Amino acid sequence: MQVGEICTREVVCAGADTTVAAAAKLMRQYHIGDVIVTRQDGGKRVPLGIVTDRDIVLSVVATELSPGSLTVGDIMGPELVTAAETEDVFDAVQRMRNKGVRRMPIVEEDGGLAGILSIDDVIEILAEEMTQLARLISREQLHEQQARK
Protein backbone atom coordinates (compact mmCIF):
# COMPACT_ATOMS: atom_id res chain seq x y z
CA MET A 1 0.00 0.00 0.00
CA GLN A 2 1.27 3.47 -0.88
CA VAL A 3 1.23 6.40 1.56
CA GLY A 4 -0.80 8.43 -0.92
CA GLU A 5 -3.67 5.98 -0.38
CA ILE A 6 -3.95 6.55 3.37
CA CYS A 7 -2.55 10.01 4.05
CA THR A 8 -4.82 12.87 5.09
CA ARG A 9 -5.28 15.20 2.13
CA GLU A 10 -6.80 18.09 4.08
CA VAL A 11 -3.72 19.82 5.49
CA VAL A 12 -3.58 23.07 7.44
CA CYS A 13 -0.61 25.14 6.33
CA ALA A 14 1.07 28.36 7.39
CA GLY A 15 3.82 30.51 5.96
CA ALA A 16 7.15 30.68 7.78
CA ASP A 17 6.32 34.22 8.91
CA THR A 18 3.08 33.15 10.67
CA THR A 19 3.28 33.83 14.40
CA VAL A 20 3.31 30.92 16.79
CA ALA A 21 0.16 32.36 18.38
CA ALA A 22 -1.63 32.33 15.02
CA ALA A 23 -0.48 28.75 14.36
CA ALA A 24 -1.80 27.68 17.78
CA LYS A 25 -5.14 29.28 16.94
CA LEU A 26 -5.25 27.31 13.67
CA MET A 27 -4.56 24.10 15.58
CA ARG A 28 -7.38 24.89 17.98
CA GLN A 29 -9.79 25.91 15.20
CA TYR A 30 -9.20 22.73 13.20
CA HIS A 31 -8.65 20.39 16.18
CA ILE A 32 -5.24 19.29 14.94
CA GLY A 33 -1.81 18.89 16.49
CA ASP A 34 0.36 20.41 13.77
CA VAL A 35 0.64 22.86 10.90
CA ILE A 36 2.81 22.37 7.86
CA VAL A 37 5.05 25.34 7.12
CA THR A 38 4.99 25.95 3.38
CA ARG A 39 6.00 28.40 0.70
CA GLN A 40 4.16 29.06 -2.52
CA ASP A 41 5.99 27.99 -5.70
CA GLY A 42 3.82 28.74 -8.68
CA GLY A 43 0.52 27.02 -7.99
CA LYS A 44 1.80 24.54 -5.46
CA ARG A 45 2.57 24.59 -1.74
CA VAL A 46 6.06 23.31 -1.01
CA PRO A 47 6.61 22.02 2.53
CA LEU A 48 9.48 23.63 4.45
CA GLY A 49 8.84 22.31 7.93
CA ILE A 50 6.31 21.23 10.47
CA VAL A 51 5.33 22.73 13.82
CA THR A 52 3.48 20.63 16.35
CA ASP A 53 1.61 21.51 19.52
CA ARG A 54 4.49 19.85 21.37
CA ASP A 55 6.98 22.18 19.65
CA ILE A 56 4.97 25.16 20.85
CA VAL A 57 4.84 23.89 24.42
CA LEU A 58 8.52 22.97 24.66
CA SER A 59 10.03 25.80 22.60
CA VAL A 60 7.76 28.69 23.54
CA VAL A 61 5.49 28.13 26.52
CA ALA A 62 7.97 26.22 28.72
CA THR A 63 10.70 28.79 28.06
CA GLU A 64 8.27 31.67 28.67
CA LEU A 65 8.80 33.23 25.25
CA SER A 66 6.14 35.32 23.54
CA PRO A 67 4.09 33.31 21.01
CA GLY A 68 3.03 36.58 19.41
CA SER A 69 6.58 37.64 18.59
CA LEU A 70 7.99 34.31 17.38
CA THR A 71 7.16 32.77 14.02
CA VAL A 72 6.69 29.14 13.08
CA GLY A 73 9.81 29.54 10.95
CA ASP A 74 11.70 30.32 14.15
CA ILE A 75 10.71 27.12 15.93
CA MET A 76 10.29 24.51 13.17
CA GLY A 77 12.87 21.75 13.10
CA PRO A 78 15.97 22.03 10.92
CA GLU A 79 15.24 18.83 8.97
CA LEU A 80 11.94 17.97 7.34
CA VAL A 81 11.25 14.29 6.74
CA THR A 82 8.90 13.74 3.79
CA ALA A 83 7.70 10.84 1.67
CA ALA A 84 6.58 10.59 -1.93
CA GLU A 85 2.93 9.67 -2.55
CA THR A 86 4.07 6.43 -4.15
CA GLU A 87 6.25 5.28 -1.24
CA ASP A 88 5.29 2.08 0.52
CA VAL A 89 3.58 2.68 3.87
CA PHE A 90 5.89 0.37 5.79
CA ASP A 91 9.00 1.99 4.30
CA ALA A 92 7.65 5.38 5.35
CA VAL A 93 6.85 4.13 8.85
CA GLN A 94 10.35 2.71 9.21
CA ARG A 95 11.83 6.10 8.25
CA MET A 96 9.47 7.86 10.68
CA ARG A 97 10.66 5.53 13.43
CA ASN A 98 14.33 6.06 12.53
CA LYS A 99 13.89 9.85 12.52
CA GLY A 100 11.67 9.91 15.61
CA VAL A 101 8.71 11.69 13.97
CA ARG A 102 5.00 10.95 14.34
CA ARG A 103 3.89 12.98 11.32
CA MET A 104 5.32 13.28 7.83
CA PRO A 105 4.30 15.51 4.92
CA ILE A 106 3.57 13.61 1.72
CA VAL A 107 4.76 15.23 -1.48
CA GLU A 108 3.77 14.93 -5.11
CA GLU A 109 6.27 14.15 -7.83
CA ASP A 110 6.87 17.89 -8.40
CA GLY A 111 7.56 18.53 -4.69
CA GLY A 112 4.16 20.04 -3.94
CA LEU A 113 2.35 19.10 -0.74
CA ALA A 114 -0.11 16.25 -1.24
CA GLY A 115 -1.04 15.44 2.35
CA ILE A 116 0.25 14.30 5.71
CA LEU A 117 0.81 10.84 7.10
CA SER A 118 0.50 10.41 10.85
CA ILE A 119 1.01 7.43 13.07
CA ASP A 120 -2.75 7.65 13.73
CA ASP A 121 -3.40 6.99 10.02
CA VAL A 122 -1.17 3.92 10.11
CA ILE A 123 -2.73 2.59 13.33
CA GLU A 124 -6.19 2.96 11.80
CA ILE A 125 -5.18 0.88 8.76
CA LEU A 126 -3.49 -1.73 10.96
CA ALA A 127 -6.58 -1.97 13.16
CA GLU A 128 -8.73 -2.57 10.08
CA GLU A 129 -6.34 -5.27 8.89
CA MET A 130 -6.34 -6.93 12.33
CA THR A 131 -10.15 -6.93 12.31
CA GLN A 132 -10.16 -8.63 8.91
CA LEU A 133 -7.68 -11.24 10.15
CA ALA A 134 -9.85 -11.92 13.21
CA ARG A 135 -12.86 -12.41 10.92
CA LEU A 136 -10.85 -14.79 8.78
CA ILE A 137 -9.99 -16.90 11.83
CA SER A 138 -13.61 -17.14 12.95
CA ARG A 139 -14.80 -17.98 9.43
CA GLU A 140 -12.13 -20.63 9.10
CA GLN A 141 -13.27 -22.22 12.36
CA LEU A 142 -16.92 -22.11 11.25
CA HIS A 143 -16.01 -23.62 7.89
CA GLU A 144 -14.09 -26.41 9.63
CA GLN A 145 -17.01 -27.16 11.96
CA GLN A 146 -19.42 -27.37 9.04
CA ALA A 147 -17.08 -29.58 7.03
CA ARG A 148 -16.77 -32.10 9.87
CA LYS A 149 -20.51 -32.58 10.47
Q: Where are the domains of the chain?
A: 3-118
Q: What is the pLDDT of residues 74-109, one digit of tens each?
A: 999 889 999 999 999 999 999 999 999 999 999 999
Distance between CA atoms of residues 69 and 101, nearest Å: 26
Amino acid at 97: R
Distance between CA atoms of residues 103 and 114, nearest Å: 14
Q: Supply φ then ψ for residue 142, to 5 degrees.
A: -65, -45
Superfamily (CATH) of domain 3-118: CBS-domain (3.10.580.10)
Q: What is the predicted pLDDT for the residue at 137?
A: 80
* DSSP string for 45-80: EEEEEEEEHHHHIIIIITTT--TTT-BHHHHS-S--
Distance between CA atoms of residues 10 and 116, nearest Å: 8
Name the residue among 92, 116, 88, 112 with its Cα closest to residue 103: 116
Q: What is the predicted pLDDT for the residue at 140?
A: 73
Residues in the chain with pLDDT values less than 70 = 142, 144, 149
Q: What is the predicted pLDDT for the residue at 7?
A: 94
Q: What is the predicted pLDDT for the residue at 108?
A: 96
Task: Please state, rounded to an integer, the average pLDDT across all residues of the chain.
Answer: 93
- The string over 56-93, giving b where at least 16 C-beta atoms fall within 10 Å of a residue's C-beta and e elsewhere, is beebbeeeeeebeebbbbebbeeebbbbebebebeebb
